[in-house]
Structure 1
Amino acid sequence: MKNKLVESAGYSDDLKQKIISAYQNKGKNYVPRTQHLDNKDVPLYTNRLIMEDSPYLLQHAHNPVNWYAWGNEAFQAAKKENKPIFLSIGYSTCHWCHVMEHESFENVEIARFLNVHFISIKVDRELRPDVDHLYMTAVMILNRQGGWPMSSFLTAEGKPFFGGTYYPPSPFLDLIQKIHATWLEKQSDIESQAEQISGMIRKIMSSETKASEVGKKSISEAITNLIGTHDSIKGGFGQAPKFPMESSLLLLIEHLLNENDPEILKVINTTLMGMARGGIYDQVGGGFHRYSTDANWFAPHFEKMLYNQANLVQVYLKAYQLTGNPYYSLIARETLEYVLRDMTSKDGGFYSAIDADSEGKEGLFFLWTKEQLQEVLTPEEAELVISYYGVSDQGNFENQNLLHIPEDPYRFAKSRQLSISQLFIQLVTIKKKLYLVREQKIHPLRDEKIITAWNGMMIIAFATAADILKENKYQIAAIKTAKFLWDKSRSQKGQLNRSYLSGTSSNEGTLDDYAYFSRALIELYDLTGDSTWLNRSVELSNEMISLFEDQNSGGFYMNQKQSNVELITRPKEGNDGAIPSGNSMALDVLTMLYRRTGNDIYQKNAKAVLAAFSSKISEYPEGFSYMMLGASKLFNGEYKNHQYAAGGAVALKIKTESEAADKIKFEIQFSIKPGWHINSDQPLQEDLIPTQIALKNGEYATINHITFPKSDMVSLGFQEAPLAVYTGDLIVKGKIDTINNTSPDQLLEHLELTLQACNNSFCALPEVLSFPIPLNH
């Protein structure tokens, strides 16, 4: 293998051999991603990235740029050669990353200048979120906006002095020439600026500020501020570009589970309907694109990320649980089916993303002409699709049609004298035909690395679906992935790795990986009652505390203490980005573990997370939406079908079923651990608190019947007289009558269960658990 870069870059014989061996070991199916090929399609250039296991880094392995991976080798070279570092951060399915790769990193002139005057480092942001977060903070300081590809310039100590995002080739060449000239003439000035920016980063990352109280007022302020940015016409928050902002939606839904609020209900419905009807949703194959470039949810940035599917499934399922809107359950089901069909490995792990581009064009895979639709469908089907999805002869997106739903589905169905169910059934058949036709097209690239944190999110989504939709296949999928991660994504020391690709687990686990996987295991415990999942969550969470806790200021660092390249500061993130931060998820995990184990250390650490970010929360509470959701659970308890009392000694699960338009059956299943009991509904002693069930409000519904089981008579050491108690497993059944004039805005009542649990030596404090009961299903 004769290689221009290997021969010209001064590689040692040992490095040359490693690069050649890594290329040869790629196998027959490996396709070099480069325009620089010889007449046998062998790449003319190969750099160190060929030895990496990141799909994104491998995309750049045949650029003429002398790329380094993030590591000591690159920083030592920068120090030895007294060169600035060019740091390029992106990810494999990023459209503008591809554009800059083609325009600049495949450009021999630009590559030559970088190779002579810079040390160039490539980072996959999905594998190193800590590096990405730190240098994105620098870019935001310098430009007040950021994105990918991220283009940063650093000193040999890793301190940033300039940064931006995408640059066209000519301006980029001008930029690196100017930076090189300035480096030669004013290196000390550059280093002073880099130190100043680094100090600002350290201050932003630090949580060593005066703690303020985070309470229900903070949650209310976050909700008020979110409502203030809501687009009341099209839904969502703010203007273009519009992101789903799942953390914010989940916070608002959690608030609705606590109390009825018609204004917030409108925010939820407007946003969820807007997204479901827009081009941001794949109307044929299911699943969501990453964001909308316009304010109407019409024109997406076409990449599909696993984390969007996971978090939006939760949003739509919980909104369905609240409202009974079948459209929400349909969107959730279609998205889950999309993930099972197109983003799942044979081992059960979930792939990370689908590219925006195919055949060199963004979104081409998802577009249709009117003629194509007429060719593959019957005349009646074509007429329905053309009308329902807003298809025209001239097209609505680059001379073709991006399918979206201009008219409200309920109004559309009514105009055709169809029920909404009849319309959906017709569309299912049509969409299957369109999907099969679309499958014949050249597909966008799929990034098949399996990221532990994102798989944790998807497990939560499937477990939530199994619980709400009562479909066992979703539980099977969740358990399969959890077993896969537990078996394959841990190192020989038992610590989590971040990624799995081609049979190999690698890259040190981050806070996100521990927090999200721990949270997923709790969800499986709730769903199945199998304590194996709870025990594994406890194991991971204890390790999370050991590896990531900031023992001085509270909260958790993003990364483990570095044994490789030490960053200018150890980053800590609390606010939401595209996903809830690791600290927000850790707060959720710790709060839930405290309720399920009774271990005070989890409550202590949960409160420490809130305290660590309290001053920043007070400045910008809506930026910490998922942390506010965790705070709500900490202060108010959980509004779930599965709940716990006495530190997990009593587990409860509620099932509800509509008997008629105004009648709801409920069933509460109790599972009481050996050695524990709760008082019966009619204890023999007046001073004992009975197990009671009542409605919180009673304004919109009444309980007309409750059946408690027969109690056990026991004698315990602390009480001479026998006690009437419940032990082991039992079921309480009842019926609720809803009031006929209930407003559609009156979503739910709360069934409040009062109990007191005791063992043979002491009694826990009385507890009141609140189960939300939807009224409009």
Structure 2
Amino acid sequence: MPNRLADATSPYLLQHADNPVDWFPWGEEAFAAARRRDVPVLLSIGYSACHWCHVMAHESFEDERTAQLMNAGFVAVKVDREERPDVDAVYMEATQAMTGQGGWPMTVFLSPEGAPFYCGTYFPRDHFQRLLLGVSQAWNEDRDGVLDQGRRVVDALSGPRVPPSGECPDADVLSAAAAALADAYDGVNGGYGSAPKFPPSMIIEFLLRHHDRLSRTGERPEAAGEALRLATHTTTAMARGGIYDQLGGGFARYSVDAGWVVPHFEKMLYDNALLLRAYTHLWRRTGDGLARRVALETADWLVAELATDEGGFASALDADTEGEEGLFYVWTPEQLDEALGAEDGQWAAHLFGVTAQGTFENGASVLQLRTDADDPDRYSRVRATLHTARSLREAPARDDKVVAAWNGLAIAALAETGALLDRPDLVESARGAARLLVDVHYADGRLVRTSRDGAAGRSAGVLEDYADVAEGLLALHAVTGEPEWVRVAGALLDTVLKRFPDGHGGFYDTADDAEELFNRPQDPTDNATPSGRFAAAGALLSYAALTGSHRHREAAESALSLVTLLAGRAPRFAGWGLAVAEARLAGPLEIAVVGATGDPDADALHRAALLATSPGVVITRGDGRDDGGIGLLRDRPLVDGRAAAYVCRGFTCRLPVTTPEELAVELAQG
């Protein structure tokens, strides 16, 4: 019989709907049942593309004996961390405080009031069964001790954890952060750390912006060159390695080794949106051919594999197929021969690093492309043939819920890539996702976090949803000139300023009217995605540059003040904050293009504006008759009836120019 998850909208929860465990979704019903039965809550948090979540599900949650122990002694609650990042955040903090580490699946035992008293992650079945018996016994025989432990955890985690705001980061702070990142860099393999190794997309964006500012001012040319070198080396190493899907495009979540050889095979929307933008920006700065190819392949993969029928983008592809991690992606020499014939098979094995010993498991290899093929036509033919052959395998499962924040990241990346690399279809994909968010997720300045099949979910949007959607809509406006996106972004940011402030210049991750948890989550550091605080700072700064709003700029600067502290202590976890701080230091530069869409002169000026590399450059476009309520366009006329571009900083503009060449000169001056 299906349990209480049968009506869930989350694909992850639906994966557990037929478990013998009597799962509850998160909510008051579960805690009321725990109080009525006088038993603890067993909270299990994971997500659909999580390999070890599947392992624990198969070992324990599908096992009748384990389910009996869970049902007898506990109220079991299953949570999709992607749907409820607030619940995940507060209990992850408790898990890390108790155990010194965290991860998924996360397993937390709670009092019926929601206080955690024992935490862990993945447990093998025998261990888990012993744990269930032990916790149940302790609950019944030493209730006061159990509850006291929970109270101590709650007390330790309560109260402010983010320092009050100080000074906004200046050029010296940003240079010190860049130097620290250079010192910590893996000079052999690229990136940071050993294993596992994660794509540092937000750090790449900071390094590109840091390089541009130093190059523009002529300061410290060696440091400027080093920043660009690190960004280029890392992006090249990832693109050449197994973390990048050499056949289908797109990046896996992380590499299990230091050399980017073997990925953890799940593919997430947020990773690919952030990396797509980073590779596009690298191409914009350098014209690098590999960056251009990877950007286009990743964009095409994103649209082909994650686009939903409603216009949005699904969350993830699973790591597993047929119960085995990576089975869809890996190859043996024999499989290459079978797909290509012996001659092309041997050539492909050499090119892609497929060996008899294998680089993965059971003699299989992850495809790498350490050097370009000496025969591009043969490479294209072989790659297409292998891609077709792979498509006949069982594909990884897709988590098709639409997450607002991650779609905001995708909108920004696709809009910019489409505009810069002359792919209007990608701009249309960005516009379609924006339309879905506005029509389904948004109402009266508020967002819901998820939707599925065009129906909005029940979870309220968190700070990153408001910030990343606003960021995406402002980027889409820069490409299309459509004023609607600025209006919606402004409404979202007004909600941020009204509902999320912490009273010390920063923001909480949940709104003041959100469901109350045992602690109000507030994590200011970047993780897999930009922190809500720094994402909000970036969107607020861009919106202020478009509208002239001092209130939004002051809020952005207050939020950025924490970067000054993190830059010296943990710059790897403040990449987006550092990138936004570079934009603030640059102004950011404002470009208003005036001229009708379809006017060749106006279109040429607009493209020249989009090619600007000034950190966080803000672009708007109008027809010269109606400013659409956008302050930067106000009183910016055509010049003798001709299209014109105005380069401004703080709404103070230079004389307008009418040709792309003149605009390039203006932009070179910073």
| Same-fold call, TM cutoff 0.5 | yes
Candidates 337, 346, 350, aligned match of 1:374: 337
Shift of 1:291: 0.4
Q: Deviations over 1:574-627 (max 9, x none)?
A: 100111011111100000000000011101211222246765565434321111
- Cα distance in 2 for residues equivalent to 1:657 and 1:604: 26
Report how far residue 170 of structure 1 moved: 0.9
Aligned equivalents of 2:661 and 2:513: distance in 1? Answer: 56
Amino acid at match of 1:299: V
- Counterpart residue type for residue 452 of structure 2: L
The 1-side partners of 2:31 and 2:200 are apart by 37
2:591 corresponds in structure 1 to 643
Secondary structure at the residue paired with 1:655? helix
Partner SS for 1:50: coil
Q: What residue in structure 1 maps to residue 583 of structure 2?
A: 633
The residue identity in structure 2 corresponding to 1:197 is V
1:222 aligns with 2:181: no
Equivalent residue letter for 1:495: R
CA RMSD of aligned residues (A): 3.0
1:408 alignment partner, one of 348, 366, 371: 371
CA distance in 2, matches of 1:248, 1:367: 30
SS in 2 for 1:479: helix
Select the residue among 397, 420, 429 that pairs with 1:477: 429
One-letter amino acid of the structure 2 residue matched with residue 587 of structure 1 = A
* Partner of residue 237 from structure 1, selected from 182, 188, 192: 192
Give the deviation of 1:379 after TM superposition.
5.1
Q: Is the 8 A contact 1:207 1:613 kept in 2?
A: no
Structure 1 distance, partners of 2:232, 2:585, is 27
Per mean C-alpha deviation after superposition, the further-off stretch among 390-399 and 124-133 is 390-399
> C-alpha deviations, 1:213-264, integer Å up to 9, x for none?
5333332233222222211111110110000021111111111221242222
> Taking structure 2 as the reference length, what is the TM-score of the superposition?
0.87
4+ residue runs of structure 1 moved beyond 6 angstroms?
A: 668-672
Partner residue in 2 for 1:655: 608
- After TM superposition, give the deviation of residue 404 of structure 1 in Å: 3.1
Give deviations 1:750-773, integer Å, cap 9, x for gaps.
9545xxxxxxxxxxxxxxx855xx
2:418 aligns with one of 466, 474, 482: 466
1:610 and 2:560 equivalent?
Answer: yes
**Is residue 575 from structure 1 mapped to residue 538 from structure 2 by the alignment?**
no
Native 8 Å contact 1:65 1:120 kept in 2 = yes
Once the 2 structures are TM-superposed, how far is the Cα of residue 208 of structure 1 from its aligned partner?
Answer: 5.2
Letter in 2 for 1:250: E
Amino acid at match of 1:363: G
Candidates 164, 176, 181, aligned match of 2:120? 164
CA distance in 2, matches of 1:692, 1:563: 42
Partner SS, residue 119 of structure 2: strand
Distance in 2 separating the partners of 1:634 and 1:657: 18
Indicate the SS of the match to 1:365.
coil
Post-superposition Cα deviations, 1:311-338, rounded to whole Å, max 9, x if no partner, equal: 1111111111222210111111111111
Match of 2:544 in 1: 594
**How many pairs align?**
628
Unmatched segments (≥5 aa) in structure 1: 1-44, 659-667, 681-690, 694-724, 737-749, 754-768, 772-777
Give the equivalent residue in structure 1 for 2:218. Answer: none
Closer, same or farther in 2 for the Cα pair 1:553/1:80, shift >3 Å?
Answer: farther
Alignment of 1:527-566 (within 5 A): 527-550=479-502, 552-562=503-513, 564=515, 566=516
The counterpart of 2:154, out of the listed 194, 198, 211, is: 198
- In 2, the alpha carbon distance for the partners of 1:562 and 1:56 equals 27
Question: Counterpart in 1 of 2:615?
Answer: none
Alpha carbons 2:320, 2:327 under 8 Å: kept? yes
Residue 390 in structure 1 maps to residue 340 in structure 2: no
| Residue 241 of structure 2: aligned partner | 278
Q: CA deviation at 1:158?
A: 1.4
User: Does the Cα contact within 8 Å between 2:41 and 2:112 map onto a contact in 1?
Assistant: yes
Amino acid across the alignment from 1:489:
H
Task: For 2:489 and 2:16, locate their aligned partners in 1 and report how far apart those are by CA, in whole Å.
Answer: 37
Q: Give, in whole Å, the separation in 2 of the partners of 1:163 and 1:379.
A: 53
TM-score by length of 1: 0.76
- Residue 72 of structure 2 is matched in structure 1 by 116
Task: Give, in whole Å, the separation in 2 of the partners of 1:466 and 1:657.
Answer: 11
What does residue 128 of structure 1 align with?
84
Query: 2:485 is matched by which residue type in structure 1?
Result: W
The alignment status of 1:146 with 2:102, answered yes or no, reads yes
2:16 aligned with 1:66, yes or no? Answer: no
Aligned equivalent of 2:642: none
C-alpha contact 1:654 1:669 (8 A) present in aligned 2: no
The residue identity in structure 1 corresponding to 2:659 is V
What is the aligned partner in structure 1 of residue 289 from structure 2? Answer: 326
Which whole-Å deviations, capped at 9, do the CAs of 1:535-586 have from their partners, x for residues lacking one?
Answer: 2211222223223233x2232222233565x211211221001110111111
- Is 1:100 aligned with 2:56? yes
Percent identity (aligned): 35
In structure 2, relative to structure 1, the CA distance for the partners of 1:294 and 1:618 (3 Å cut) is closer
Q: Tell which deviates more after alignment, 214-223 or 136-145.
A: 214-223
Residue 732 of structure 1 aligns with an amino acid whose one-letter code is: T
Q: CA deviation at 1:403?
A: 3.8
Contact 2:274 2:409 in 1 (8 A): yes
Contact 1:596 1:644 in 2 (8 A): no
Q: Report the secondary structure of 2:449's partner residue.
A: strand
Q: Which amino acid aligns with 1:443?
A: A
Q: Counterparts of 1:76 and 1:613 in 2: how far apart (Å)?
A: 42
1:53 is matched with which residue?
A: 9
Is the contact between residue 669 and residue 731 of structure 1 (CA under 8 Å) also seen in structure 2? Answer: no
Q: Which amino acid aligns with 1:436?
A: T
User: 1:707 maps to which residue?
Assistant: none
Work out the CA distance in 2 between the residues paired with 1:354 and 1:200. Answer: 37
Change (3 A) 1:49 1:309: same
Given that 1:49 and 1:57 are in contact with CA atoms closer than 8 Å, whether structure 2 keeps it comes out as yes
User: 1:715 maps to what in 2?
Assistant: none
1:226-375 to structure 2, matched below 5 A, reads: 226-260=181-215, 261-375=224-338
Q: Deviation per CA, 1:60-104, whole angstroms, max 9, x where unpaired?
A: 111111211111111222223332221110001111000001111
Q: Whole-Å Cα distance in 1 between the matches of residues 152 and 454 of structure 2?
A: 44
Q: Distance in 1 between matches of 2:514 and 2:463?
A: 16
Q: Is the CA contact (8 Å cut-off) linking 1:553 and 1:612 kept in structure 2?
A: no
Do the aligned residues in 1 keep the contact of 2:447 with 2:460 (CA within 8 Å)? yes
Structure number with greater CO (CA < 8 Å, separation at least 6) is: 2
Letter in 2 for 1:655: A
Classify 1:462/1:654 alpha carbon distance in 2 versus 1 (closer, same or farther; 3 Å). closer
Partner of 1:426: 378
Question: Post-superposition shift, 1:644?
Answer: 5.2
Counterparts of 2:335 and 2:190, CA distance in 1: 32
Deviations, residues 730-766 of structure 1 (Å, cap 9, x unaligned): 5135389xxxxxxxxxxxxx9545xxxxxxxxxxxxx
CA distance in 1 between counterparts of 2:364 and 2:470 reads 43
- C-alpha spacing 1:622/1:643, structure 2 compared with 1 (3 Å): farther
Select the structure of larger CA radius of gyration.
1
Is the contact made by 2:165 and 2:506 (CA closer than 8 Å) also made in structure 1? no
Partners of 2:385 and 2:321 lie apart in 1 by: 21
Which range moves more in the overlay, 566-575 or 606-615? Answer: 606-615
Kept in 1: contact 2:21–2:62 (CA 8 A): yes
Report which stretch shifted further, 240-249 or 206-215.
Answer: 206-215
Cα distance, 1:286–1:498 mapped onto 2, change above 3 Å: same
Confirm or deny that 1:445 pairs with 2:397.
yes
Paired with 1:404 and 1:256, the residues of 2 have a C-alpha distance of: 32
Is residue 653–residue 670 contact of structure 1 (8 Å, CA) maintained in 2? no
Give, in whole Å, the separation in 1 of the partners of 2:534 and 2:227.
22
Quick one: structure 1 residues 347 and 157, their matched pair in 2 at CA, closer, same or farther if it must change by over 3 Å?
A: same
Aligned CA distance change for structure 1 residues 644 and 621 (closer, same or farther; 3 Å): farther
Closer, same or farther in 2 for the Cα pair 1:563/1:532, shift >3 Å?
closer
